[in-house]
Amino acid sequence: MPTLKDALISALGEDLKEYTLQRPSDVSAFIVPRMSFRAAAKVMLAQGARLAAEWATDDAAFKKGFSVHAAYNLDGEFLIVSAEMPEGGPSFPSITKKYLAAYRFERQIWSLFGILPEGHPDMRPWIKHEDWPADIYPLRKSFDGKTYIPKAAGTYVWVRAEGEGVYEIPVGPVHAGIIEPGHFRFQAVGEDIINMEARLGYTHKGIEKRFEQMDWASAARLAGRVSGDTSVGHATAYAEAVESASGTIVGLRAQYLRAILLERERMANHLGDIGAICNDAAFTFMLYQMSILREKMLRTNAALFGHRLTFDCVMPGGVSSDITREGKETIKAELSGIEAEFDKLVRIYEDNPSLEDRVYSTGILTPPDAKAFGVVGFVARASGVANDARILRPTDAYRKVPPIPPLLTSGDVHARAWVRIVEVRDSIRIIRMMLDEMPEGELSVEFTPPAPGACGFSAVEGWRGEIIYWVQAGPQGEINRCMVRDPSSVNWIAIEQAIKGNIVPDFPLCNKSFNQSYSGNDL
């Protein structure tokens, strides 16, 4: 079964050192010599593995220099390859030319850690904007988050297109609507887009740095606020990573409750998105109808779980709120109402030719591109990439009630909308079955902090896609590093590919069909 592990061992042999403190047991971690980091990527690529995340750590607490880590995934197997670097002038061989997904990960490592990815084609800063002094690296342990830093002046060099009739449209970061900030730079000829470059980082808050100052239990609240619409997804991913690091086994009832909350979050967000996609094609009717359905869910959430967006329901060791017998009935009644209404609305969506004309063949992300960028979530499933963390790494609850994710190959706006429609229906089925089958049991078990040096890993299917957390305990058992990889970190770049060849006024529609998180990406 462990294809990647075997391939790595046979290719690199003695150079490998297994990192034994990595948990859970089915995720193996190897330390390779620094110069073999790219060779390892080549082995993984040959196996057809996907680069799930790439990040760095400052090992000052262990009296060492820096490390860079890359998590690869093939089917159900996750494998972490790490390389250690000295304290002065750290660098590692870039794997961007092997894996396109590494492009922004490595720019981020360079910007926030000052670790040089050798051979990276684009060394412009990412997330850390030019008003930061270039030689300050906020994620290094030597940087105190409380220090005042003077504002530096600098300019960001954009990719330029030149030629007759080529003009540039800068959009954002402040938009006419109330949405998150991001800057998009279009190069267009007439209305045809020849290139679009996104620039994010406007909501950079230093979340990863903040994690390192918190204790394991209270950091769950921070994880739940990484991206407000994915509170359960992030809190669950954090909790699972921490539990794996400390060897905590969560009860089955708590797992069921987490899965139900995850599916409710998926449903509520998909409902909102389907309406919003139609609204961007000026089909306002759908937005308001879908908003009503979403609102119903949020009100049920407030009544049953004490928060409309179910903040702080998931914590390391279990969950904080239960579903009573009456609660079950409330949810079932709510689901039946939503299901009937939803079916009618989907029929309207299907039968409207003017809407059809907008959503079909707009913003196509081709399956080869989707695979090359390693996209996740509904974006992947709309472009022929069957990636779903609920199936790759199922919890016991999802093993008992397996999801049936859709798979479309057209990769256009309609495909991304349709994947959401099918998932809403599937979530309704999952929630109903889980409510029926949910066993009695403890809501939470006592959570013991991880041992010094222990690392935990988790991949959880949030509504946008696979959320990855990797945590590392320091020498005193504190949080030494908490790596957050929101699905947006890999999916954002895919929009730049999907938009090429489309016309400028179709961008909002394409963007809405992706609907990636700014906050989750910028951290």
Q: How far apart are CA 56 and CA 42, in angstroms?
A: 19
Closer to another protein by Cβ: residue 79 or 355? 355
Strand partners for 467? 460
User: Least separation, in Å, of the C-beta of 335 and another protein?
Assistant: 21
Strand partners for 314? 319
User: Least separation, in Å, of the C-beta of 417 and another protein?
Assistant: 13
Closer to another protein by Cβ: residue 1 or 178? 178
Q: How far apart are CA 408 and CA 490, in angstroms?
A: 19
DSSP string for residues in 147-201:
---PPPP--PPPP---STTEEEEEE-SS-SSS----EEEEEEETTEEEEEEEE--
Residue 59: other Cβ atoms inside 10 A: 19
Closer to another protein by Cβ: residue 42 or 347? 347
Closer to another protein by Cβ: residue 197 or 396? 197
Closer to another protein by Cβ: residue 359 or 482? 359
What per-residue string of b and e applies to 229-261 under the rule 16 or more CB within 10 Å gives b?
A: bbbbbbbbbbbbbbbbbbebebbbbbbbbbbbb
Closer to another protein by Cβ: residue 81 or 355? 355
3-state secondary structure of 214: coil
* Structure-token pair, residue 106: 């490595």
Residue 177: other Cβ atoms inside 10 A: 5
Closer to another protein by Cβ: residue 266 or 294? 294
User: Least separation, in Å, of the C-beta of 160 and another protein?
Assistant: 15
User: Least separation, in Å, of the C-beta of 107 and another protein?
Assistant: 26
Closer to another protein by Cβ: residue 200 or 250? 200
Closer to another protein by Cβ: residue 163 or 177? 177
**Could you tell me the CA-to-CA distances from 371 to 48, 73, 165, 427 in Å, in that order?**
10, 12, 34, 25
User: Least separation, in Å, of the C-beta of 509 and another protein?
Assistant: 8
User: Least separation, in Å, of the C-beta of 350 and another protein?
Assistant: 13
On the 0-12 / 13-18 / 19+ scale of CB atoms within 10 A, 119 is: middle
User: Least separation, in Å, of the C-beta of 354 and another protein?
Assistant: 4
User: Least separation, in Å, of the C-beta of 191 and another protein?
Assistant: 6
3-state secondary structure of 429: helix
Closest by alpha carbon to 302, among 335, 327, 266?
327
Residue 328 · residue 403 · CB < 8 Å: no
Tell me which residues touch another protein (CB under 8 A): 167-171, 175-177, 191, 278, 280-285, 288-289, 292, 352, 354-355, 357-358, 503-509
Closer to another protein by Cβ: residue 78 or 514? 514
User: Least separation, in Å, of the C-beta of 174 and another protein?
Assistant: 10
Strand partners for 444? 318
Closest by alpha carbon to 427, among 277, 294, 286?
294
User: Least separation, in Å, of the C-beta of 288 and another protein?
Assistant: 5
Q: Which phi and psi (to 5°) does residue 3 adopt?
A: -60, -45
